[in-house]
Structure 1
Amino acid sequence: MTTVTTRTVTYPADGLTMVGHLALPAGDGRRPAVLIGPEGPGLNDFQRRRADALAELGYVALAFDLHGGRWFTDPEEMLARVTPLLADPDRMREIGHAALDVVRAEPRTDPARMAAIGYGTGGAIALELGRDGTDLRAIGTVNALTTGRPGEAARIRCPVWAGVGSEDPIMPPAQRDAFAAEMQAAGVDWRLVVYGGALHAFHHPPVDQNVVPGVGHHPKHARRAWQDIVALLTECLPVTE
């Protein structure tokens, strides 16, 4: 197993002091970098471990923050913050660009080789970075088939991979169709994988919190979605010495 180095990073965004988790691969050379955006409740150890796993594969990885170090256990409190955020592309982009700035400032990062992946709200932020014309090599989202402002998807400069559960009531078939139509009309290199029988947030292990209806873990598809994301990065953002 490759030795990785991790540290907590703080940085300003959205009027808050964000608390991210940066994982660095072994060695001292420059490496491609990946942003990891968490789901609506915020950054927790699950996404921190994802950053560590990507660092093991040779990437500089930042699991970024959404809520100034908070992780919401109350769904209503979480939705009160996340709902207006998801309705405001400029706020989402601000959060994403602030995280990108942290990654770019890391000496181990090759700033010409970066990608953004995310889950739920974090995936919506990854997509908005693409719609903002950010120079990314790949965008990967799980449970985030959000559509953007008209015409802005044409600014996406990289392949987009998206995964969703077939039984996700938060991202239902109509939302899938709208996302696909937006990507296709914009000429994006896009893929959508529908995981049969999976609910919303199927990727996330059970946690000790109140869970909204339509949310549930699907271990088999969670593994498959992670493998698909790693395959996307391997294709579009290979680690080279």
Structure 2
Amino acid sequence: MTPITTRTVEYRADGLTMTGHLALPAGTGCRPAVLLGPEGMGLSDVERQRADALAELGYVSFAFDLHGGRYLSNPDEMLARCLPLLADPERMRNLGHAALGVLRAEPRTDPDRIAAVGYGTGGAIALELGRDGVDLRAIGTVNGLTTGRPGEAARIRCPVWAGVGSEDPIMPPAQRDAFTAEMQAAGVDWRLVVYGGALHAFHHPPVDHPAPPGVGHHPRHAQRAWHDIINLLTECVPVTE
């Protein structure tokens, strides 16, 4: 079997030169594609490996950058950049559109079969692309259960799957309720999975710097969330020869 291929792609967004990771499946034909967004700290080997895993399943996958090639391991620095970003839907959409442009420019991407999946800030960006009316086949967001501007969720044209830890202090029950109320009022085909006992970023393997309070890895639920995302993709953007 021909192995997957990967390459680094530089592109401009948010006034920065971004460095994303493109993973291509074996073969030569067009394939469904997945735009993959990272947690607020930025693109790391975790997302690169997820993009590679998606390519092994037959998807063209692009893991996009948030911080101009930097990984913000300092929580204060990360919050100083991400909080203003999360409060500005247009900035999030511009970041998403720039990355989506890279994915669409890949000749092996089927432009009619693209999904967006993200974690934390990356998940919020995936949702904003949906609220902007982008033609996506599925949206998946883990920890990024943000609400949008009034009425704009009605522009989401695809199923939305969301996952969150029950003990996540950053996405508490009130935030989850606001998100689901927005989706329901807009008539979106939505699902929410609450993973019992999990904290924020439960999906992310342990890192080599101190985790902020309320953040922690849950190996069992991390695996379950990944399976749930794969099931979403299999349902909405199946790989066919």
Question: Quick one: distance in 2 between partners of 1:55 and 1:2?
Answer: 12
Match of 2:169 in 1: 169
CA displacement 1:113-154 (0-9 Å, x = unmatched): 100000000000000000000000000000011000000000
Give how far 1:210 is off.
2.8
Give how far 1:2 is off.
6.0
Confirm or deny: 8 A CA contact 1:75 1:210 kept in the other structure: no
Question: Quick one: distance in 2 between partners of 1:136 and 1:2?
Answer: 29
Task: Name the SS of the counterpart of 1:46 in structure 2.
Answer: helix
Once the two structures are superposed, the pairs formed by residues 17-56 of structure 1 within 5 Å of their partners are: 17-56=17-56
User: Normalising by structure 2, what TM-score?
Assistant: 0.99
Confirm whether residue 196 of structure 1 aligns to residue 196 of structure 2: yes
Letter of the 2:75 partner, please give it: P
Letter of the 2:104 partner, please give it: R
Letter of the 1:11 partner, please give it: Y
Gaps (5+ residues) in structure 1?
none
Question: Quick one: distance in 1 between partners of 2:169 and 2:135?
Answer: 32
Letter of the 1:207 partner, please give it: V
Task: Name the SS of the counterpart of 1:80 in structure 2.
Answer: helix
Gaps (5+ residues) in structure 2?
none
Match of 1:88 in 2: 88
Question: Quick one: distance in 2 between partners of 1:97 and 1:127?
Answer: 12
Confirm or deny: 8 A CA contact 1:20 1:64 kept in the other structure: yes
Match of 2:9 in 1: 9
Match of 2:99 in 1: 99
Confirm or deny: 8 A CA contact 2:96 2:126 kept in the other structure: yes
Give how far 1:98 is off.
0.4
CA displacement 1:70-122 (0-9 Å, x = unmatched): 00111001100000000000000000000110011000000011000000000
Question: Quick one: distance in 1 between partners of 2:101 and 2:180?
Answer: 30
Question: Quick one: distance in 1 between partners of 2:208 and 2:86?
Answer: 25
Letter of the 2:194 partner, please give it: V
Question: Quick one: distance in 2 between partners of 1:72 and 1:116?
Answer: 23
RMSD over equivalenced CA pairs, Å? 0.7
